[in-house]
Structure 1
């Protein structure tokens, strides 16, 4: 698994994924289908000192997006986010936590990662639990989307817990390219 820096040439693909129903239904926000807005977003993430943003590449195909955002460097914590855009590779979602935890705890020196998941996204909730994350709560009626309120489930993984439960996933190290 390779994580590559997002470039302008990738923006059309990201826009197509991000506005597709299978992706956007689990996102907090809906975005306008605008390549110009994608360019503005790219400039924003390039300037973000508290986040890392990549596209995931597997066997030569760009398959999705992954990021660590809202990094608090003092307290060594952040939030991680992802989506698989190429549904042919949806089964790889089950390994993304391992890649992310290994990278964040080893390469970035973080102590905790948080994941927030909309209540309707039961598959990703199970993914967090399967890899050993703790469910720490639910934000009730946290997101209003298309006039409907959604709960958000909050998961966390600490570096100490990952050192206990993540041994079988030690080989999952992303190749990060800039």
Structure 2
């Protein structure tokens, strides 16, 4: 149930969607396509370096939840913006696109642009439970595939 991000990145990382249910960055599925993602600050390298330093000094800590909040969490479907994970992997400057691997033998793939990847969502829970044909579903930010997600994403290769 993990999703590696590999290829032309400075840091290969492994996403574990099973723990995202408690992550403060998750978004309810029904609200995800109604709000824009924060604008990319790619042009401001000093700001990005400052944010990395701040995360290193003060890592994000998810606040505790009450029993009632925990019960409420288990009623909804959620997506996670992938932007923070991509930023942490640090895509190399010569990368051109991203390949979504949708099975274990890496025969079925879908190629998307890096911008589409950065501005996308990964669904990890439906009605508070992990996806049966996951580990994650891929959604474009604009919701164009909201009714037909890319399912069974097993790996992301930056190419």
TM-score, with length taken from structure 2: 0.27
**Higher normalized strand content (fraction of residues):** 1
**Higher normalized helix content (fraction of residues):** 1
Higher relative contact order (CA 8 A, sep 6+): 2
